[in-house]
Amino acid sequence: MRNIKLLIEYEGTSYAGWQVQAGLPTIQGSLIDAAARLTRKEAAIAGASRTDAGVHALGQVARLKTESAMPCHKLMQGMNALLPDDIVIKEAVDMPDWFDPRNDSKGKIYLYRIINRNHPSAIARNFTWHIFAPLDIAAMREAAKHFIGEKDFSSFKAANAEALHFTREVTSVEVFDRGEGLIEIEVRGTAFLRHMVRIMTGTLVAVGKGKISPAEMPAIIEAKDRTAASMTAPSQGLILVKVEY
């Protein structure tokens, strides 16, 4: 049985997320179907991150388990020909049997994109969160500093998050003003809870609107209570940029 590492880019707009769900279109399901059709053998695919409905990826990593002897470059070309246009395999490489994309990951990089102006973007509407009210970027940057480190992020987890514990290490949070109303929030960490980056973003936006002071962030984190943080940012602004090994 071969263990093949796949590097995948996708637009999550039309999908119910990464993970296979009965009766719903998913990224994982589309990949399994393409691999099985191409090789005419059973295929098993596991990803590094279970992105939610509407979330995109530039660098999702998955492993394909297959008995097919097809060379990796042919496998990549063949699957891309069978996949929908909004899912693309960028690389396929044979790996040792022990490689696991989720457990072997050393870190992930996420990017959240906001359009902050008096009108949204017709072109980028599926890739940004439009916010009309002007945001105080300096206050958001000050608040973001409090996320850095190994902490209990219970205040920033989804209500149905499943984890053995809620301690995660965030290594960097940067807020970039790209001009013309585009704000990008880049979050790096070793691992993340479900919805964690989106709730962090929603809370930073609340700071930017003046609803929360940067000085309140330590208390919000220390509360370990989801109700202490702000809203969950919409899924379409989030991109999984890279999984690090």
Res. 160 pLDDT band, cuts 50 70 90: confident
Vertex 118: Cα angle to 114 and 121 (nearest 5): 55
CA-closest candidate to residue 171, choices 243, 242, 241, 107: 107
> Which CATH fold topology does 107-244 show?
Alpha-Beta Plaits (3.30.70)
With 90 as the cut, is the pLDDT of residue 159 above it? no
* Count of helices and strands (H, E) across the chain: 5, 10
Task: Convert the pLDDT of each residue in 73-111 to its tens digit.
Answer: 999 999 999 999 999 999 999 999 999 999 999 999 999
CATH architecture of 2-95: 2-Layer Sandwich (3.30)
Task: Convert the pLDDT of each residue in 112-130 to its tens digit.
Answer: 999 999 999 999 999 999 9
In angstroms, the CA 6 to CA 48 distance is 10
Mean pLDDT across the stretch 221-241? 98
CA-closest candidate to residue 12, choices 244, 245, 237: 237
Cα–Cα distances (Å) from 151 to 45, 207, 218, in that order, read 31, 20, 11
Mean residue pLDDT across the chain: 97
Domain ranges (residues) in the chain: 2-95, 107-244
Vertex 86: Cα angle to 84 and 91 (nearest 5): 90
With 80 as the cut, is the pLDDT of residue 162 above it? no
Cα–Cα distances (Å) from 45 to 13, 60, 79, in that order, read 21, 12, 13
The DSSP code sequence of 75-95 is HHHHHHHHS-TTEEEEEEEEE
Q: Do domains 2-95 and 107-244 have the same CATH topology?
A: yes
Task: Convert the pLDDT of each residue in 194-220 to its tens digit.
Answer: 999 999 999 999 999 999 999 999 999
Mean pLDDT across the stretch 41-51? 96
Chain-centre distance for alpha carbon 148: 18
Query: So which residues are the catalytic ones?
Result: 52
Mean pLDDT across the stretch 42-53? 97
Extract long-range pairs of 126-132: CB within 8 Å, 24+ residues apart. Answer: 126/11, 126/13, 126/236, 127/56, 127/236, 127/237, 127/239, 128/182, 128/236, 128/237, 129/233, 129/234, 129/236, 129/237, 131/205
Question: Which residue spans within the chain are E strands per DSSP?
Answer: 2-10, 44-47, 56-66, 87-95, 107-116, 129-131, 149-152, 167-179, 182-189, 238-244
In angstroms, the CA 163 to CA 112 distance is 23
Q: What is the pTM of this model?
A: 0.96
